[in-house]
Amino acid sequence: MKNSLLKLGLPLLVLLTSLLAVGASGLFKPPKTDERLFSQQVNLALRQTADRLLDLAGDTTRAIPPVEKMSEGEYMLRIESQFSYDSLPRFLEAALAQHGIREKYHVAVLDCLENLLMLGYSQESVEEGKVPCSGRQPIGDCYNLSISFPNRTAKASSFGWAWWALANLAAFGLLSFFVYKKLKNKQLGEVKPAPLVVENDALLRFGGAIFDPANLYVQVGETRQSLTFREAKLLQFFAERPNQVLERDAILAAVWEDEGIIVGRSLDVFVSRLRKILQKDPSLKLANVHGVGYRLEVG
């Protein structure tokens, strides 16, 4: 009986953890069809807004690039022209309503080069008629128009963390049972095979940086920085190819191949984030190769 319980312990642990993981990843997320439809509606609304802004500025020929999905509930559109910031809230609100989007949202206008916030407002400020920064003239001729829907971001995050915690709690309970049975059998004098030793040599070292792709962090000097899954995947691609010129298409195919949308300029945004993290090490430089892509220079 005791041996039977011991044999069942580990498979049951794996089974329950897998089921909980499936629940966390799919059962409590909005259906993919709903997400796809919502993304299409946002795409159309942003492009319609950009079209009206360019028309107002007297630009009727410039092509409007694809809308980029930066993360869950966050979208961005590049506008390579000056436009009327005062007209943006009115045009965008009308476009969202026309395409059936009634959720709360935040808007940010960022410069293309460093993706720094220049202007911004929320839906609440539009409803109250108090849009901040009204009357200000934009500087430059290239902007990233970003819109995020906090309710969608919060839902995805809360469900994910709740089920992750539940899965870990259940796994810990079963693992405790398994360890207890193993120790008890050992005390009774049963002969057990030697434990399997797994060596983990997954750390990547380049320059003065230590990168752990499995645990999503990089340490530069004395500073340890947590990374998102996509940041870690992009950094690993660079770290495994130091001092090589990497074409944009090759990077996009390797890092974003599992996504079904156009990512476009989101690569530049992620590179900018990694560049700020690595700049603490003078032997490292994430350089832009004009017209080609990027190169991680390791001194």
Same domain, 51 and 20: no
Is 194 part of a structural domain of the chain? no
Is 119 part of a structural domain of the chain? yes
Buried b (16+ CB within 10 A) or exposed e, 196-212: eeeeeeeebebbbbebb
Q: Which of 100, 119, 148 is the last residue of a domain?
A: 148
Is 144 part of a structural domain of the chain? yes
- Assign 198 a pLDDT band (cuts: 50, 70, 90): very low
Find the domain containing 125 and state its range: 32-148
Size of the chain in residues:
299
Is 58 part of a structural domain of the chain? yes
12-21, 37-46, 75-84, 222-231 — which is least confidently predicted?
12-21
Distance from the first to the final alpha carbon of the chain: 62
Same domain, 17 and 67: no
The confidence score (pLDDT) of residue 8 equals: 52
Residue 274's alpha-carbon distances to 14, 33, 290, in angstroms, are 35, 33, 18
* Contact between residue 64 and residue 47 where contact means Cβ atoms under 8 Å apart: yes
Same domain, 224 and 278: yes
Same domain, 240 and 144: no
The confidence score (pLDDT) of residue 225 equals: 92
Buried b (16+ CB within 10 A) or exposed e, 11-46: eebeeebeebeeebeeeebeeeeebeebbebbbbbb
d(CA 205, CA 296): 13
Is 198 part of a structural domain of the chain? no
Query: pTM here?
Result: 0.43
- Assign 179 a pLDDT band (cuts: 50, 70, 90): low
Which amino acid is located at 272 in the chain? Answer: S
Same domain, 22 and 36: no
Tokens (6 digits) for 76:
């961005």
Same domain, 209 and 281: yes
Same domain, 166 and 212: no
CATH number at residue 281: 1.10.10.10
Same domain, 84 and 183: no
Strand, coil or helix: what is 148?
strand
Residue 1's alpha-carbon distances to 7, 11, 22, 179, in angstroms, are 10, 16, 31, 16
Is 192 part of a structural domain of the chain? no
What are 90-142's pLDDT values in tens digits? 999 999 999 999 889 999 888 887 777 777 888 888 888 777 777 766 667 78
Q: Which residue has the tokens 């899965």?
A: 167
Q: Which residue has the tokens 């993360």?
A: 71
d(CA 24, CA 214): 20
d(CA 179, CA 126): 59
Q: Which residues contact 5 (CB under 8 A, 6 or more apart)?
A: 181
**Phi, psi at residue 189, to the nearest 5°?**
90, 15
Name the range with the highest mean pLDDT among 96-110, 189-203, 248-262: 96-110
The confidence score (pLDDT) of residue 154 equals: 66
**Phi, psi at residue 106, to the nearest 5°?**
-120, 140
120 strand-pairing partners = 108
DSSP state, residue 204: E
The confidence score (pLDDT) of residue 257 equals: 73
Calculate mean pLDDT across residues 186-208: 54
Same domain, 214 and 292: yes
Same domain, 38 and 122: yes
Tokens (6 digits) for 171:
């796994």
What are 18-35's pLDDT values in tens digits? 555 555 444 444 455 688
Same domain, 40 and 23: no
Tokens (6 digits) for 58:
């007297």
Q: How many domains does the chain have?
A: 3
The confidence score (pLDDT) of residue 26 equals: 47
* Contact between residue 130 and residue 25 where contact means Cβ atoms under 8 Å apart: no
Is residue 72 pLDDT above 70, yes or no? yes
Neighbours of 154 (CB within 10 A): 12
Tokens (6 digits) for 83:
């436009």
Same domain, 98 and 16: no
Dihedral (C-alpha) 6, 11, 14, 19: value to the nearest 10 degrees? -120
Angle at the Cα of 243 (from 241 to 244), degrees rounded to 5?
Answer: 60
Is 197 part of a structural domain of the chain? no
Is 199 part of a structural domain of the chain? no
Calculate mean pLDDT across residues 172-188: 60
The confidence score (pLDDT) of residue 157 equals: 54
